[in-house]
Every structure is written in C-alpha cells, then in structure tokens.
Structure 1
Amino acid sequence: MCLAVSFAFVVCVFPALVFYVTIPNWPMPLQVQFDIRQSLLLLRYANHAVNFFLYSLTGAHFRCELVALFRSFI
C-alpha cells in the first residue's frame, strides 16, 4: 500500500518539480506558463483523489473498515 501511494505521489508531483526548477532557464510566453501551471496544479490535486482509491485497492485493513463504515449506514 505504501509503495503504491508513494509511487502515485512521485508521478503526480515530479512534473511540477521539474517545471519549477527548469522554468528560469526556459523562456516561454506567460499564457503557456499559466496553462502548464494550471495543469500541474490539477495533477497535484489528483494525487489526493487517487489516494482514496489506492488505499481501497491495496489496503486490506482500510477496505474492511470502509465496508464496516458503509454497513453502519444501512
């Protein structure tokens, strides 16, 4: 579980890291910078959403507690 969550974190955050490190050496129009920044922000937010599904798929204890939570509402 920890490996899957860590891998998803790297996949979602690494592009932003590369962009912010290389942007001073890579001149581009402001509109392009804005579009890239918005896309990278969306990718970082997606990391938070993906975590729930990764925990559900890979964590047996989390899955059992989630099922128990839903059963308590029925």
Structure 2
Amino acid sequence: MIRKTGPILLGVAGFEVTPTGSDRCVVTWWESVHLAGPLPAAWTRPPLGVLLRVMMRVGLRRLARVIEDD
C-alpha cells in the first residue's frame, strides 16, 4: 500500500498481482485519494477519480505499445 501525503494528493493506493496461468497474471490497481486543501474530500474525490482513470488508460496504452514493439 502506498500512502499519499503530498501537497496535492492525500489518501492511499495499491495493487495486487494474481497469477492466472504459467505466463500470465492480472494486476488490480486501486486508489482512494482526494485533493489536499480546503475543499472536502467528498467534493474532490469524484473528478479526481475520472482524471486518474484517464491517466491510467493512457499509461497502459503506452506500455502496450512498448511491449508490442519488443
């Protein structure tokens, strides 16, 4: 588990790796974060979740391209 205590993000994140075969696995990433600052976490968590999902999709697509090129 990673605890986020920075000046922008607060919360926790982590991942689990589960083998599904001799050469495959499933990685599950989870986060519960909100913006630090004067606004309540309940207000910042939903839009931040959308942003983080978009960032994760972009990162995974880039990783897939690197893996396919090898």
TM range (shorter): 0.3 to 0.5
Q: If the length of structure 2 is used for normalisation, what is the TM-score?
A: 0.40
Pick the structure with greater CA Rg.
1
If asked which structure has higher relative contact order (CA below 8 Å, sep 6+), I would say: 1
Of Structure 1 and Structure 2, which has the larger fraction of its residues in strand? 2
Q: If the length of structure 1 is used for normalisation, what is the TM-score?
A: 0.39
